[in-house]
Chain A
Amino acid sequence: QGQLVQSGSQLKKPGASVKVSCKASGYTFTDHAINWVRQAPGQGLEWMGWINTDTGNPTYAQGFTGRFVFSLDTSVSTAYLQISSLKVEDTAMYFCARVPRKLGFDYWGQGTLVTVAS
Chain B
Amino acid sequence: SYELTQPPSVSVSPGQTARITCSGDALPNQYAYWYQQKPGQAPVRVIYKDTERPSGIPERFSGSSSGTTVTLTISGVQAEDEADYYCQSADNSSTSYVFGPGTKVTVL
A102 x B49 contact (CB < 8 A): yes
Chain B residue nearest in CB terms to A59: B95
CB distance from A16 to the nearest CB of B (A): 26
Neighbouring A residues of B98 by C-beta, 8 Å = 47
> Which residues of A have CB within 8 Å of B86?
44-45
Contact in complex: A108, B43 (CB < 8 Å): yes
Instruction: Judge whether A62 and B1 touch: CB under 8 Å.
Output: yes
- Confirm or deny: B42 has a beta carbon within 8 angstroms of a beta carbon on chain A: yes
Q: Can you name the residue of chain A whose Cβ is closest to the Cβ of B43?
A: A108
Please, how many residues of chain A have a CB less than 8 angstroms from a CB on the other chain? 21
Instruction: Specify which chain A residues have a CB less than 8 angstroms from the CB of B99 in the assembled complex.
Output: 37, 44-47
Main secondary structure of the interface of A (DSSP, over half): loop
Partner of B33, one of A50, A95, A105: A105
Closest chain B CB from A39 CB (angstroms): 9
Contact A104 B88 (CB under 8 A): yes
Contacts of A46 in B (CB 8 A): 99
Would A104 and B45 count as touching, CB distance under 8 A? yes
Inter-subunit contact B54/A35 (CB<8 Å): no
Interface residues of A in 48-63 (CB under 8 A from B): 50, 59, 61-62
15 contacts between A and B (CB under 8 A): A44-B102, A45-B35, A45-B43, A46-B99, A47-B88, A47-B96, A47-B99, A62-B1, A95-B43, A103-B49, A104-B31, A104-B88, A105-B35, A105-B88, A106-B48
The interface of chain A, by Cβ under 8 A from chain B, is 35, 37, 44-47, 50, 59, 61-62, 95, 99, 102-106, 108-111
